[in-house]
Amino acid sequence: MTGAVERPLGALETRTAIAEGRLSAEAATEALIERIAALEPETEAWVAVDADGARAGARVLDRGPERGALHGVAIGVKDIFAANGLPWRCGSPIWANRIATFDAASVAMARAAGAIVLGKTETTEFASYKPCRTRNPAAPGRTPGGSSSGSAAAVMSGMVPLAFGTQTSGSIIRPASFCGVVGYKPSFDLIAGSGVAPLARSFDTVGLFARSVADIAFAAGALTGLDLAPENAATPPCPVGLFRSAAWEFAEPDLMAVWETFEADMSASPAILSQPVPAHFADELEGALDLHARIMAVETAEALAHEAAIAPELLSEGLVREIAAGRALSSARRHTDRLSLHRLRARALDCLDRQAVWLTPSACGAAPDWNSGTGNPAFNRTWSLLGLPACSVPLLADPAGRPIGVQVVGAMGNDAGVLAVADWLRRHFT
């Protein structure tokens, strides 16, 4: 599929080549536009490609001094983010003709650091469950996962080195796993989320896709002011554990097989912790999947109150059911659920080792059939509920060679540790 096109550059490679005068931002952008022309017909990852705007922006960068850490790096933006002058459709016919008139905070920060917005990527309906048209470049005939479908697919096929996504239950880690790219869901609210259409405000988290952990860490650093760059350590830079979690009951046979081999490989490492998530805290997480689903339903109903008022007939049946379920929850249930969320997050701070991380599957298996939906987020919901940082690394595959990700998760705020171990894993296993 990609034979006719040169290997695309990553974000750091692009930025370094420009800084060293070996490449112009314009040439880097033009190469991506050509690649999109070649690959987009079979991938359908983009809602809109702003070729002219990206070229013009690149020329401005080439004429001026270095803008920032992302100088000349192109980025794809999931279509629930506002990006000034570009469509903002949220995967819904309700907003089919909307053009954003401002930048989401994360998009503005990326631009301020020198990034070039290449276009808007396909999303499921309001980042919920109804699939979009995007195909999986790494697993033909299979779903790319959702909701950040276009961002994961565009990065996998090399149409862009970097893309924004969001996760509310499993919308970054799952498509990263299915498409064979690196996906990073930061600690809750670490990257500013304003200007991004909401789904469930207690969980919605802005994150990134790239083809290397180093690219992710580098971009996330530019967006947060944090030093997240991994240090190329030869051994795991912090304690690492293995944790199947309660979602294991949803593991498919292919996942079980490769995961057992992976566990055996890892267990030989002296850095492996026996119980990264204490058993008593794992017990407290019983009911977490249901709690996440209930709060998500309530908050989805609130987030989409305007759309449900102006065009209820244009919402999918599934989303209408979700909204109805959210509205139906009693006062007492809403109150105790919200308190339970606060308590569980507080308990996580008390119970989890601040430095350690654990490895758990990114998804229930390789990508399921394209027409079966976008896959099950069971392995992601608990960490989204707790707001913990997670990174999916494409290390495993099913017997047919379809990618399966290893999910690195850490305590609240341990984004640097998660990314460092993700980077170590990639180097250790390749």
- Interface with a second copy by CB under 8 A: which residues? 84, 98, 101-105, 107-109, 111-112, 187, 189-190, 192-195, 197-198, 201-202, 224-227, 298-299, 302-303, 305-306, 308-309, 327, 329, 331, 334-335, 338-339, 342-343, 345-346, 349-350, 412-413
Instruction: Please identify which of the residues 92, 106, 128, 147 carries the catalytic annotation.
Output: 147
* Helix/strand/coil for 392: strand
Instruction: Please identify which of the residues 128, 171, 212, 384 carries the catalytic annotation.
Output: 171
Instruction: Work out how close the CB of 420 gets to a second copy at its nearest, in angstroms, rounded to a whole number.
Output: 14
Q: What is the DSSP string of 286-320?
A: TTHHHHHHHHHHHHHHHHTHHHHHH-GGGS-HHHH
Instruction: Work out how close the CB of 204 gets to a second copy at its nearest, in angstroms, rounded to a whole number.
Output: 9
Verify whether residue 147 is a known catalytic residue: yes
Strands 46-49 and 357-361: unpaired
The residue among 43 and 168 lying less far from a second copy, judged by its C-beta, is 168
Verify whether residue 130 is a known catalytic residue: no
Instruction: Work out how close the CB of 367 gets to a second copy at its nearest, in angstroms, rounded to a whole number.
Output: 31
Inter-residue contact 207 to 186 (CB < 8 Å) = yes
The residue among 13 and 103 lying less far from a second copy, judged by its C-beta, is 103
Q: What whole-number distance in Å separates Cα of residue 14 and Cα of residue 72? A: 7
The residue among 160 and 298 lying less far from a second copy, judged by its C-beta, is 298
The residue among 181 and 319 lying less far from a second copy, judged by its C-beta, is 319
Q: Give the position of tokens 């967006």.
A: 223
Instruction: Work out how close the CB of 383 gets to a second copy at its nearest, in angstroms, rounded to a whole number.
Output: 15
Non-local CB neighbours of 265 within 8 Å, separated by 6+ positions: none
Instruction: Work out how close the CB of 359 gets to a second copy at its nearest, in angstroms, rounded to a whole number.
Output: 23
Q: Give the position of tokens 């339903």.
A: 297
Instruction: Please identify which of the residues 78, 120, 130, 185 carries the catalytic annotation.
Output: 78
* Helix/strand/coil for 205: strand
Instruction: Work out how close the CB of 108 gets to a second copy at its nearest, in angstroms, rounded to a whole number.
Output: 4
Four-point Cα dihedral 103, 104, 109, 111, nearest 10: -40
Q: What is the DSSP string of 130-175?
A: S--S---TTSTTB---SSSHHHHHHHHTTS-SEEEEEESSSTTHHH
Inter-residue contact 12 to 218 (CB < 8 Å) = yes
The residue among 95 and 370 lying less far from a second copy, judged by its C-beta, is 95
The residue among 185 and 211 lying less far from a second copy, judged by its C-beta, is 185
Q: What whole-number distance in Å separates Cα of residue 152 and Cα of residue 136? A: 9
Instruction: Work out how close the CB of 412 gets to a second copy at its nearest, in angstroms, rounded to a whole number.
Output: 6
Q: Residue 58's closest CA among 74, 46, 47? A: 74
Verify whether residue 78 is a known catalytic residue: yes
Residue 377 Cα distances to 148, 258, 313, 385, 417, angstroms: 13, 19, 27, 12, 23
The residue among 55 and 338 lying less far from a second copy, judged by its C-beta, is 338
Give the residue numbers marked as catalytic.
Answer: 78, 147, 171
